[in-house]
Structure 1
């Protein structure tokens, strides 16, 4: 297992699950204190586990199940795809996937910018781009592997 400080410095002291700051000086027994999580997916046989920084409460709540990473409540998105499953699927097979619908171009552009920013911390080892496409009176937010 890596040193907590090394993992925290690498992850800029942000929880990979909730994307909120983690206080490096907080007690590891505090709900908002730092902990090291083994990431979002089981590594392939022989590959090292990816350790990520998380709040102790976020890590405990996730347990041994696939985490749920929420979309920002400030976004106006309809039928948002689950972020973790989408990232894992695109990481395995590549390509592109529609991840949400938005009622206006402005909403879709805001969601696209937020998603790219969030994924830069959530899955820093993978490169993603977004695209907004008109369709059926709405705007589709497309995520693709770069």
Structure 2
């Protein structure tokens, strides 16, 4: 239980997949109970075998979120209240920004106001998804639509 508490504290007792609170007192057999997800993708597992050094940290997840993900790469969904066209995969973009820095195009929005809301949501979500990643959002007008990008600082 010590490792679960350590990871839970580090993640602020929020599921890294759905971003909802996790109750540390709930039974681990309950679908909303706490579990650990290693975040090891197939590509990371292959790299881990090669260099054996940089092992990805474990993350806190609800049992149902972790079980639903299974052995596949995780997908963080975009919320329904955001008005977004062509949304980028959030985890893959965060991993590229962590690894290389630079800029990632995340979405197109029909209005500037929608794009600003999307940018703020992305910054908030990435602050918990990748706590060490320092990013800011940018909105650019592109022929009647607005492009939302993240930039690693």
TM-score (norm 1): 0.93
- Other-structure match for 1:63: 70
- Other-structure match for 1:6: 6
Q: Is the 8 A contact 1:40 1:84 kept in 2?
A: no
For 2:109 and 2:119, the matched residues in 1 are separated by 10
Q: Is the 8 A contact 2:40 2:56 kept in 1?
A: no
For 1:30 and 1:119, the matched residues in 2 are separated by 27
Q: How big is the shift at 1:90?
A: 2.3
- Other-structure match for 1:29: 29
For 1:90 and 1:9, the matched residues in 2 are separated by 24
User: Secondary structure in 2 aligned to 1:77?
Assistant: coil
Worse-superposed segment, 103-112 or 89-98: 89-98
- 1:83 pairs with 90, 96, 102, which one? 90
Q: How big is the shift at 1:2?
A: 5.7
Written as runs of structure 1 = structure 2, the 5 A alignment for 1:1-146 is 3-39=3-39, 41=41, 42=44, 44=48, 45-146=52-153
TM-score (norm 2): 0.89
For 1:60 and 1:48, the matched residues in 2 are separated by 21
For 1:2 and 1:50, the matched residues in 2 are separated by 15
For 2:122 and 2:57, the matched residues in 1 are separated by 21
For 1:87 and 1:39, the matched residues in 2 are separated by 13
CA displacement, residues 103-122 of structure 1 (integer Å, 9 cap, x when unaligned):
11110000000000000000
